[in-house]
Amino acid sequence: MLDARDELSLDFIKIASGRIRDNLRKIDFYRNAESTGIYYSIGSEVQTHDLIQEFFNQGKEFALPRVEKNDLVFKKISSLSDLEPGSFGVMEPKEKCETVKNLDVVLVPSIALTREGYRLGYGFGFYDRYLHGKKSKKIGMSYAKNVLKTFPHDNHDVKMNCLVTEDAVIHVK
C-alpha cells in the first residue's frame, strides 16, 4: 500500500490534498474545534502544510506531534521556526514548545483506512497509543483509492470517528 501511494504523482497529491482540505471544512466538529492536532506531512501523505498555514492565519490553536521516548506528545508552535527534524526525518516541535494535554480533534495520517474507521499506519503504534482513551475526535485522512473494504486489525487499534478523502466525508457508525 505504501509503495502504491508513493507512486502517486505530485500533481495528484496536491489536487487531492486540496479537495481533502475542502471536505474537512464540511465537518462540524472540525470547524468548531478549539484545539486541533495536526501532523506535518512528508512524502506522499495527504499534504497538511496549507492547513497549518490556515491555522496560523486564523489564529486557531493547534499542535503537532513530537516523539518523546516511545510516545507521541502534541506541542503548540507559534511559527515554523519552532519545528526541527525529529524521528524518522519528520518535522516536529522543539522540546521547549508547550505540551497540549487535550485536543478536540486530531487529524491522523494513514496509509489506508476502512469504512469502519480502522487505520493502517506505519506500524509503530504511536497514534494508537496516544489516542487510546482520549476523548478527541479522530479524523483519518487518506486518498479515496486507499479506503479498503477490510484489513487485519487488533483490539488495540483505535478507530477513527470520521474518514476524509478527496471524494467524501465518511462518518463512522
12 residue type, one letter: F
Quick one: which of 169, 123, 171, 170 has its CA closest to 19? 169
Span 78-117, pLDDT tens digits? 999 999 999 778 899 999 999 999 999 999 999 999 999 9
Interhelix angle 49-58/10-24, nearest 10 degrees: 40
Domains, in order of start, for the chain: 2-62+106-171 (3.40.50.10420)
Question: Which residues in the chain come in under a pLDDT of 50?
Answer: none
Do 81 and 108 meet the contact criterion of CB atoms below 8 Å apart? Answer: no
Contacts of 135 (CB under 8 A, 6+ apart): 102
Residue 69: what are its φ and ψ, rounded to 5°? 60, -110
Cell of 108: 491522523
Strand-by-strand arrangement of the 119-120 sheet: 119-120, 112-114, 147-148
